[in-house]
Amino acid sequence: MKLKRHLWFIFLMMLTLELTGMAIKVEAAYPLSTDPMRVKQTYLDMIHIDQAWAAAGDNRTPIVVAVVDTGVDLTHPDLVGNLVEGVNLLQPSKKPYDDNGHGTNVAGIIAASFNNDKGIAGIAPNAKIMPIKALEADGTGGEAKLGEGIKYAVDHGAKIVVLSLGLNKYSDYLAGVVQYAEDHNVLLVAAVGNEGTSVKYPAAYPTVLAVGGVNANKQADSRSNYGPELDLVAPWDVYTTALGGGYQYQDGSSMSAPQVAGAAALVWGKYPGMSAYQVRSQLEQTAEDLGPAGWDEKTGYGLLQVDLALTQPYKENRFEPNNTKNLAAKLSINTAVKAVLSSGQDEVWFALDAAYDGFIEVSLHNSDSAGIRVRFDSGETFISNSSTDKSKPFRVAVTKGRTYVQLQTVDRTTKTAIYYSLLTDFVIYKDPFEDNDKQYKAFALPERSQTIRGTFDKKDDLDWFVINLEHSGTMRVKLSVDTGRIDPMLLIQKEGEKSITIDQGGDGATEISPLMDVFPGQYYIRVSNVKDYSRPITGEYTLDIEYTPKLIDPNEPNDKSYQATFAAMNSVYEGLIHSNDDVDWFEFRMTKDGLAQIRLTNIPTSRIMYARLYDSSLKEQGFYRNESGSDQLFIEKTLNAGTYYIKLQANQWFMSQMYRLKINSYALISGFADIEGHWAQAAISQLAEQGVISGYGNYRFAPNQPITRAEAATVITRALKLTKRKEVSFGDMNSSHWAYDYVAKAVQAGIVTGYPNGTFGPDRTLTRMEMTQMLASSMNMTGKKRGNSPFTDVDDSYWGIGILKQMSADGWVAGYADGTFHPDEQATRAEFVTLLAKVVNR
């Protein structure tokens, strides 16, 4: 534990005197705590309380701190000596006994007796607690008693009022009480709340010192409320006095606020001439900055540092240097500050960050009649002087993000310092749906699912919307908010019918309607705030409308085979499974033997569709289903000419989307469904019937697909009925390859060879020149050198020109109509088979 320099000196003096046999008694004004449970108060070390006690000196000016709460344990041995007369506002005839424990927790943090050999140490040995019971035994209370408690404290001598409680509702009445305290030089300290949302009132009023909480790692607790009104943070977890003379661990911003109140009592005890504003400012300007440089919405001005508040000199211009835009000091959009312009040549800059589009309001009062010029970076300029104290604040439209404000004297030649007070506030934007405060002014929304955002930008704001539904279906409405200052409420009404109201949650909750069956007509939706707020709310609501039209199956009734919907080939039919017993029958006809393709798509991925195929006598020909999670089912089957039926079912009904059914049929030519009418049909059929080619086994020959070297070697070996083979060894093809035997025979016959690098490239596609070369080799053609090139895109330098001349001259290849051959393009399976058929038939 560190001792200040003068304490070390005292300690060394005592040690020296003891060693020389002399006895002397020395007592420091604020020695280190000897309270037995001080070791459990680790939060005090975070705010440097030992150093603060040493720095406080022997000035023990008593400061009365009012605790407006659930009362205080008036007989607690660690508090009884530090209490002054209080009041019970709930039962005026009784004393302010604590029947909850919360107020006792708060009081102990501030003023548990110091060095009394009992329990813990309070932060401010000079503090006297005024217990004011304004809350019920369950910890709840209203603004009336809260305001009454603050006013009682002010009127009965309290210098500090700590309020470890809060409301989401702004109140003109409570704002007036807060101003009453400020006017009487009483400091209000309040907890921000513990919901991880907007700062509660009264902490949110500009002149109240709003306190949040941090954990042992000096990070803002996720439960601590935050926002533009936050001023300071203090430790979240404490060990403090409890009901019945005991002690307990507690947490929350309710425990952070009394630490700041205790620190304020120490500061005021040492500097009794300070004003409430100066004490507040001193605590802020000496805090340990935790987040981004300067003020921020999560930790305010930083972590309370009591020792620095007692030792660092007070700065009237605590934001300096901020005399240029680049040095602008960060300032909350909801705060009150006082400072000074040293002369006419001085100027100050502030940076204000807005979380939404809206308006920044600035109230400025100063000590000089010449006034101060206020200029925003948007170019808007205002003049304030001492005669405008009752004037309206300046209001400037801003967009979400940063706005800069410059202050400078109107008279730039003055040598006199000008003191000013600056009050900032923010008003959120008007949403684009206004004016829709009445039902007859309801904003029309399209007939679909949608998400919209709106605001309550004025007192008693209501937002009406209307949807004109042309189709029956289902609808669910959800209303969510981004601030605890809104207690959202939904009203939904079909025109001419009784409305329903949804208000299940409280402040900051999300309201969700049940899934409703809706029918054609106008549906009105009203969005409102349950609370009777007297000012705009800084926050947005989000309205989510989930609308699903009820789809109609155009094929019904088709639940029986004799009701089957006739499905023409290559047409799409949409349908629904409207109940778990629903079945849909379709009929189709095969005009000739061939391949039927039945494709079912757009199946909900959470459903399984079943399809049964029947012939004209209703004899089942097959049963099929889609894979789980798949949105389609594909059936392919060879059928004779005739009439067939498809029966569709699902494992569970669905009405939100329509399945799509499409049936096609193809004639099978030599077992292939994709060669009918193709220019190479005859050649493909010939070689297929001779067993030379077999396609891909799924009724596909793929005539336009490039042919690979392995495929070409296989087909030519079969066509020429080659039997002799040569053992080959290629780096990319061993004896286990499906085409190895065919390639070996083609190599033996001199029709194909490998590449110089020892590979064969079985999966490489064949070029038209390689195809021509391979077929020429099968006929023992070696090419000729004489004559002109038969093709315009092949000259005598091309490696295969001799073969092309011979194959063209003998009528094997003819090229394209424009006189070109495109020798390096890929050869298709149809081209290879056509040339091969000519070779076989020669």
Instruction: Kindly state whether residues 662 and 757 are assigned to the same domain.
Output: no
Total number of domains constituting the chain: 6
In a domain, 318, yes or no: no
Instruction: Kindly state whether residues 567 and 468 are assigned to the same domain.
Output: no
Residue 466 has pLDDT above 80, yes or no: yes
Mean pLDDT of 234-260: 97
Q: Quick one: pLDDT at residue 30?
A: 55
Q: Quick one: pLDDT at residue 71?
A: 96
- Answer for the pair 580, 653: CB distance below 8 angstroms, yes or no: yes
Residue 743 has pLDDT above 80, yes or no: yes
Instruction: Kindly state whether residues 419 and 453 are assigned to the same domain.
Output: no
Q: Quick one: pLDDT at residue 248?
A: 96
- Answer for the pair 525, 461: CB distance below 8 angstroms, yes or no: no
Name the strands in the sheet holding 358-366, side by side, starting at the edge strand that comes first in the sequence: 335-341, 418-428, 358-366, 394-398
3-class SS of residue 270: helix
Instruction: Kindly state whether residues 410 and 494 are assigned to the same domain.
Output: no
Q: Given pLDDT bands bounded at 50, 70 and 90, which one contains residue 308?
A: very high
Whole-angstrom distance, CA of residue 458 vs CA of residue 448 = 29
- pLDDT tens track for 582-612: 999 999 999 999 999 999 999 999 999 999 9
Q: What is the mean pLDDT of the chain?
A: 91
Q: Which residues contact 576 (CB under 8 A, 6 or more apart)?
A: 551, 552, 553, 582, 654, 655, 658, 659
Q: Given pLDDT bands bounded at 50, 70 and 90, which one contains residue 15?
A: very low
Whole-angstrom distance, CA of residue 371 vs CA of residue 386 = 7
Q: Which residues contact 361 (CB under 8 A, 6 or more apart)?
A: 393, 394, 395, 424, 425, 426, 427
Whole-angstrom distance, CA of residue 180 vs CA of residue 1 = 43
Mean pLDDT of 104-113: 97
**Catalytic sites, residue numbers:** 69, 102, 254
The vertex-69 CA angle with 63 and 75, nearest 5°, equals: 70
Query: What percent of the chain has a predicted confidence (pLDDT) above 90?
Result: 79
In a domain, 319, yes or no: no
Q: How many CB atoms lie within 10 A of CB 838?
A: 14
Following DSSP, what letter does each residue of 655-685 receive, concatenated?
A: EEEEEEEEEEEE--BTTBSS-TT-TTHHHHH
Structure tokens at 22: 């002399």
Q: Given pLDDT bands bounded at 50, 70 and 90, which one contains residue 406?
A: very high
Pairing of strands 541-549, 418-428: unpaired
Structure tokens at 284: 């802020």
Instruction: Kindly state whether residues 35 and 156 are assigned to the same domain.
Output: yes
Q: Given pLDDT bands bounded at 50, 70 and 90, which one contains residue 239?
A: very high
Instruction: Kindly state whether residues 59 and 134 are assigned to the same domain.
Output: yes
Following DSSP, what letter does each residue of 722-780 receive, concatenated?
A: --------BTTB-TTSTTHHHHHHHHHTTS----TTS---TTSBPBHHHHHHHHHHHTT
Q: Is the Cα dihedral 527, 529, 534, 539 positive or negative?
A: negative
Last residue of a domain, one of 549, 575, 605: 549
Q: The domain containing residue 605 runs over which residues?
A: 561-666
Instruction: Kindly state whether residues 115 and 201 are assigned to the same domain.
Output: yes
Q: Given pLDDT bands bounded at 50, 70 and 90, which one contains residue 471?
A: confident
Whole-angstrom distance, CA of residue 500 vs CA of residue 195 = 29
Q: Given pLDDT bands bounded at 50, 70 and 90, which one contains residue 25?
A: very low
Whole-angstrom distance, CA of residue 396 vs CA of residue 381 = 10
Residue 560 has pLDDT above 90, yes or no: yes
Structure tokens at 539: 């926050």
Mean pLDDT of 575-588: 95
Last residue of a domain, one of 666, 689, 718: 666
In a domain, 433, yes or no: no
Q: Quick one: pLDDT at residue 785?
A: 78
Whole-angstrom distance, CA of residue 391 vs CA of residue 84 = 42
Nearest CA among 818, 778, 782 for reference residue 801: 782
Q: Given pLDDT bands bounded at 50, 70 and 90, which one contains residue 99?
A: very high
Nearest CA among 360, 395, 387 for reference residue 371: 387
Residue whose tokens read 């200052």: 485
At 63, phi and psi to the nearest 5?
-125, 125
CATH at residue 572: 2.60.120.380
Residue 686 has pLDDT above 90, yes or no: yes
At 352, phi and psi to the nearest 5?
-115, 130
Instruction: Kindly state whether residues 692 and 646 are assigned to the same domain.
Output: no
Residue 17 has pLDDT above 80, yes or no: no
pTM, full prediction: 0.67
In a domain, 555, yes or no: no
Q: Which residues contact 728 (CB under 8 A, 6 or more apart)?
A: 740, 743, 744, 747, 754, 760
Nearest CA among 597, 776, 455 for reference residue 784: 776
In a domain, 217, yes or no: yes
Instruction: Kindly state whether residues 737 and 647 are assigned to the same domain.
Output: no
In a domain, 616, yes or no: yes
In a domain, 320, yes or no: no
Q: Quick one: pLDDT at residue 592?
A: 92
Q: Given pLDDT bands bounded at 50, 70 and 90, which one contains residue 784?
A: confident
Instruction: Kindly state whether residues 543 and 626 are assigned to the same domain.
Output: no
Instruction: Kindly state whether residues 719 and 817 are assigned to the same domain.
Output: yes
Last residue of a domain, one of 666, 692, 712: 666
Q: Quick one: pLDDT at residue 472?
A: 86
Query: What percent of the chain has a predicted confidence (pLDDT) above 70?
Result: 95
Mean pLDDT of 817-837: 95
Instruction: Kindly state whether residues 718 and 800 are assigned to the same domain.
Output: yes
Lowest mean pLDDT among 21-30, 229-238, 356-365, 644-653: 21-30
- pLDDT tens track for 635-646: 999 999 999 999
The CA R_g of the chain, rounded to the nearest whole Å, is 45
Between 160 and 341, name the one with better pLDDT: 160
Whole-angstrom distance, CA of residue 332 vs CA of residue 192 = 15
Residue 350 has pLDDT above 70, yes or no: yes
CATH at residue 267: 3.40.50.200
